[in-house]
Structures are given as C-alpha cells and as structure tokens.
Structure 1
C-alpha cells in the first residue's frame, strides 16, 4: 500500500502486513459531524502525530517521544538506572511546533525537535529497515540507538481504525527487538549491545477523539531463551480492530481486547493486565515514573509513563505457554484534550 488515504478520500482500514509508504492525511475527505466538508486549516489543526523510541535492559531504561499537536510541539527524553534508582529527564514544549519537523512516511523519514543546544531526532530508513534515535542535550547527554526489522525478520503491528464520528488513527508498533548503540550521561556510559538491550517503537498519527484517555503496556526481553515483545492498549485503536498483540522471535500473535486494573491515584502500586481471550495474564510492579502535565485550555494532557517489571503468562495458539518472569517494560495512563 503506497498511500493510506485512497482516491475516494477515505482511509484503508484494518490490519496491514506492512506500513503504508505515506500517511497522506491532506487527501482525507474530512467532514464535520454534520457532514460539512472541512478545509485545509481544519485538517492541519486536528491532525496529530507521535513517535516514541524506548530502551529496555537490566542496567538502563530510557524513553524519548516527539509529538506534533499543531498548536504545540512536545518532546521528552529520560534515562533511568535500575541498580541505583537514579533518573535524569528533560521536557520541551515549543509553541506552534517551531523548531520541529515531522515526516508522514512511517518507515522512511525524520522527525526531530531542536531547542537551543538540544536535539531529539528519530530517523526511519526504508532501505535498511532501521529505526534510529539520536539525542544530544546541552548538559552533555547523548544517545545513539538503533534497531532493524530485517535481520532477524520482524512482523510489525500496522493498524488503521475509525475514530469517533469523523476521524481515524494509524498506528505502527514494534517490541521485542535487540538494540545497539551508546548512551552517555550523568548516569554513566553504556554500550547497548553489551547490555543486551531491547527496544520498542511507536509511530502513530491521525484524527483522534477531541478528548480521550488510554492505558498502554509494552515489554521486551528474553523469556525461556526466546525474544519476546508485547503491545497492549485500552481506550484507543479499538473500533473494529485492536492493536493488541505479542511477539515471539519476531512473529506476531494477535490478542483480543484487554483490561487494565490499577489505582489511578496511586499509579506506582501494582497493576494487573489481562486479555478477554485469556492469552495474556500479567502483573506489573512499578520501579519509577515519568510524568507530564500540560493545561493550555484548548490543549491539555495528564500523562504518566511508568517503568517496572512484568510477570505472568502469554499463551500463543498451538504451542506451550510462555512464562514472563520479571521482564522490564512500561505502562501508561494518559488523558488528552486537543
């Protein structure tokens, strides 16, 4: 599929074996809830885009995200050192997205944020199948991280769902892939390959509900000698299809709807996550949290990304269950208005 939006102005919906070449949202036949055609300004104002790159290992946890919310560009990066409990983090908010750029090519483009002497950059390269994270901060922190979906082969989760009365969301998820590169910061210097680090990646864009909330879970690592990844969500991408899945050695295993049980007022208490079809039964013990709060009236966000350890069971069809024993990963609790 070269383009997500068809000649009739409507998206391709469903689960796809690979990403579209271009999320051509400007070709979308965007209408008001009453059916009135909306122009270019409305299309741009209500189109939002995100990209996230996460690092997971026993010695280092990290996350970097960029978001284009039309009225503001947002970025964050953090690093957490599990052996000592030390954490460093930076946040950036740029009015009208000045200093940012975002490609609408999920597998072949650059998204970046520049603010003073700080750079957050995510590069996706179609020819090599690589995803790269480059971070350079004015305090000397630097991250160069990379993974590939080619060697060994990996099946990404690519999905487009209708949203509310007049929108859609395209999402592309990867988890359970090994990561290489280097990290230098006040926490120390790290060789990601030597740490046997894993990565996960999220590229999402579309016309989302004006006001929404979601939960999300992701893990990556080794279980019984197998490479394991997991991506679960509740609250978004659930109209007709879901993004819920796990990967074993890069092979995607689909999962039904999921339920997150946790204390919203005390998110560092244990979580429980289970799927309706019984394929996923997990508990989560938090070790730390990155939190963002933004309230600009027309735009607001209450975001908590919590890192910690998962335990439980994954049950793929036609083969023995996989036991998850204290694997690092992430959960989220997010409220957004845009």
Structure 2
C-alpha cells in the first residue's frame, strides 16, 4: 500500500506483507475520546516516532535509538564489550527536536540527530532494502553498520494496531540478519563482518497511548547453519493482532501472545519468557543494561534495556525444535508518559 491512512481518514489495520510507502499521519481523522475532531496542533503533539538499530555478537553488543516525541528529540547510543564488561554510552535530549529530522517512510529516508560534533544517523534505502547506521561522536567513536533484507531474502514484520480509544501504532521489525561494517571506539577496533555480527531493527510510529508500558525481547544469531531472529512484545501491539514472531533463515513465523516473568526492581536477574501457543520457551540472563529515567511532569520515562543471553527452545509448528543455547539478545522494560 502507498499510504497507511486511507482517504476516509482511518488507518489500514493488520499484518502486512510489505511496508506502506508513507505513514501519512497528518491525514488521520484524530478525535478526542468524546468524538470531538482535533486539529493540526493535536496531531503534531500526539504523534511519536522512534527507530532503533541493534548490533549483536560475542565480541561486541551495541544499540542506537532516535525518538521524535514532538516536544523533544531524544537519542542514545551504547557499546558493551562482554569480555571486559566495559561500556560506552551517550544520551542526547534536544528541546522541540531541534537538530533532528525524521522521515515518515519506513523503508526509505533518513532519521538523524545532530548535537555539536555528535551525529546519530539511521538511513533506510528503498531500492536496495538496506538499513544503515552511522554514529560519529566527539570522543572519536565511530560506528558504521549496514544490512540488507534482499540478499538473502528476509520478510520483515509489518503491523498496525489500534492503541487506546483514538490511537494506532505502526511497527516494522527485523531480527536475525547478518550485518557488515566497522566500529572504532575506546573499547577497540571491530570488523562486524569478520566477527559474524548480527543486527536487528525497529521502526515504529503513531498515536500511542498517553501512558503506556511494554516489555520486549529480541535475539539474533546462528544455531548451526540456521540464522535465527526473535521479536516478542507485550503492552503495545496486541489489539486484534500481535507483532510476536521469530525468523528462521529470514522466513517469518508468527507467534501468539507472550508472558514476561521477571523482577522489575532487579532487571539483571533471570527473565522467563513463554508464548501462549508453546512455540517459545526461553530464559534470559542479563549481563548489563542501558537505562534512562526522566520525569518533568507532562513527560516521563523509566526505560531499561538489558543485554544478555537467551537459552531455551523455539518450537515451530510441524518442524524440528530449534535449541537456543546462550545466544545474545535484548529485553526491555519501559514506562512512558507523553
């Protein structure tokens, strides 16, 4: 489909075989819970968008995110070296999004944040189906990473669901793809291709609930010769449809609703993650985390992204089980008011 919002002002809902060309949110017929039509200012204020690019390998873990929250532009980047336990991380918060730009084309365009000599840039290239990450920091850190969904063929999860009484959330997820590139930083000099690194990617936007919470799990890696990716979530996209799935050599396999069982006050303690249909049974053990906390009254966030190892089993229907043995990945525990 060319546009997510139809001529009648309502979104297309469901799980799509391919991404929409444009998230044309300004064409959405946004109304109050009591049915009053809302104007351009409310459409701008309520619309939020974020994009995330993650790197996974035994030698280096990394993540970079950009978010457009209307009243603020937010970005973070971190790198974690499992062998030494050392970590580099930076956070940026720019009022009204000054110094940022965000494309509303999920498969094409640039999202970036500039702050002084620092640049966080995520580029999606429609013709080649490539996702590219460029980070340049004033301390000399440089990250260049890229992957393609074309060679070998990969089927992303593309979904749009209702959110609350008057909202919707479009999400596009990828995990279990090999990536190429280079990382230069105080932790060392890393060639992502030589390391056999994997990547995952998240592009999300919409009119999310004014207060929302989610848990999320993602892993990427190899089980023998099989490329495996996983995307599970609880709290955002469960209205009629869910984004839960895993990938085997790029083939998307749908999963039912999931339960995250963990101690919110001790997020580095083990997590248990199970799907209702029995296709996923995993244990996650955290090795480190990136966290942010903000509370300025009208906006608040309590965010924890934990990186560590998954063990357990995936049970695709009608196929042999896939044993997961200490594969690196991420989980999140996030509360936000916006």
TM range, normalised to the smaller chain? Answer: over 0.9
5+ residue gaps, structure 2: none
> Which residue is 2:286 aligned to?
286
> Which residue is 2:308 aligned to?
308
What's the CA shift for 1:294? 1.0
> Which residue is 2:139 aligned to?
139
> Which residue is 1:194 aligned to?
194
5+ residue gaps, structure 1: none
Aligned length: 338
1:234 aligns with 2:234: yes
What's the CA shift for 1:332? 0.2
1:246 aligns with 2:246: yes
What's the CA shift for 1:224? 3.0
* Contact residue 224 and residue 323 of structure 1 kept, 8 A: no
- 1:264-316 deviations in whole A, cap 9, x for unaligned? 00000000000000000000010000001111111100000000000000011
Secondary structure at the residue paired with 1:41?
A: helix
In the alignment, the residues of structure 1 paired with residue 297 and residue 200 of structure 2 have an alpha-carbon distance, to the nearest angstrom, of: 32
What's the CA shift for 1:100? 0.4
Normalised by the length of structure 1, the TM-score is 1.00
RMSD of Structure 2 on Structure 1 (CA) = 0.4
* Contact residue 309 and residue 327 of structure 1 kept, 8 A: yes
In the alignment, the residues of structure 1 paired with residue 285 and residue 174 of structure 2 have an alpha-carbon distance, to the nearest angstrom, of: 22
* Contact residue 136 and residue 143 of structure 1 kept, 8 A: yes
> Which residue is 2:8 aligned to?
8
In the alignment, the residues of structure 2 paired with residue 124 and residue 115 of structure 1 have an alpha-carbon distance, to the nearest angstrom, of: 21
**Structure 1 stretches of 4+ moved >2 Å:** none
> Which residue is 1:47 aligned to?
47
> Which residue is 1:30 aligned to?
30
In the alignment, the residues of structure 1 paired with residue 46 and residue 324 of structure 2 have an alpha-carbon distance, to the nearest angstrom, of: 40
- Residues 78-227 of structure 1 mapped to structure 2, 5 A cutoff: 78-227=78-227
In the alignment, the residues of structure 1 paired with residue 163 and residue 289 of structure 2 have an alpha-carbon distance, to the nearest angstrom, of: 29
In the alignment, the residues of structure 2 paired with residue 52 and residue 290 of structure 1 have an alpha-carbon distance, to the nearest angstrom, of: 14
What's the CA shift for 1:183? 0.3
- 1:163-196 deviations in whole A, cap 9, x for unaligned? 1000000000000000100000000000000000
In the alignment, the residues of structure 1 paired with residue 53 and residue 128 of structure 2 have an alpha-carbon distance, to the nearest angstrom, of: 18
1:19 aligns with 2:19: yes
In the alignment, the residues of structure 1 paired with residue 213 and residue 295 of structure 2 have an alpha-carbon distance, to the nearest angstrom, of: 15
> Which residue is 1:324 aligned to?
324
